[in-house]
Amino acid sequence: QVQLVESGGGLVQAGGSLRLSCAASGSTASRYAMGWFRQAPGKERVFVAAISWHGGSTFYADSVKGRFTISRDNAKNTVSLQMNSLKSEDTGVYYCATQRTTGWAILTNHLDYNYWGQGTQVTVSS
């Protein structure tokens, strides 16, 4: 069982930055790739970024590539998402999640993730 708690969301002007954090409980959390997803009102949950269990591989949605950076600290059981040059279309609830299976693959479908945090709201004003 893994429990995830996100923090760091808030209101920011376009062009600004925010750093989201996800704290994971459970000794096995570090064995899994982890991802960030976001969901805008009335829209589906979409992939944002993911990182391998060892932190050596990352993958980003095209819409955030070059602006967002995902990282993890397995000693602290945390995953972070640094978001720069924020745009209004980045607005939504951001969720961190653990990938359903162990291994080297980084997956982008939310169905491949089984443990989810409660989400943190990010609002970017234009």
Mean pLDDT in order along the chain per 10 residues (126 residues):
94 98 84 94 96 94 98 94 97 96 88 95 96
How big is the CA angle at 50 (ends 73 and 27), to the nearest 5 degrees? 40
Answer whether 118's CB lies under 8 Å from 9's CB: no
Coil vs helix vs strand at 69: strand
pLDDT, averaged across the chain:
94
Question: For residue 2, what pLDDT is reported?
Answer: 87
Residue 94 CA to residue 114 CA, distance in Å, equals 16
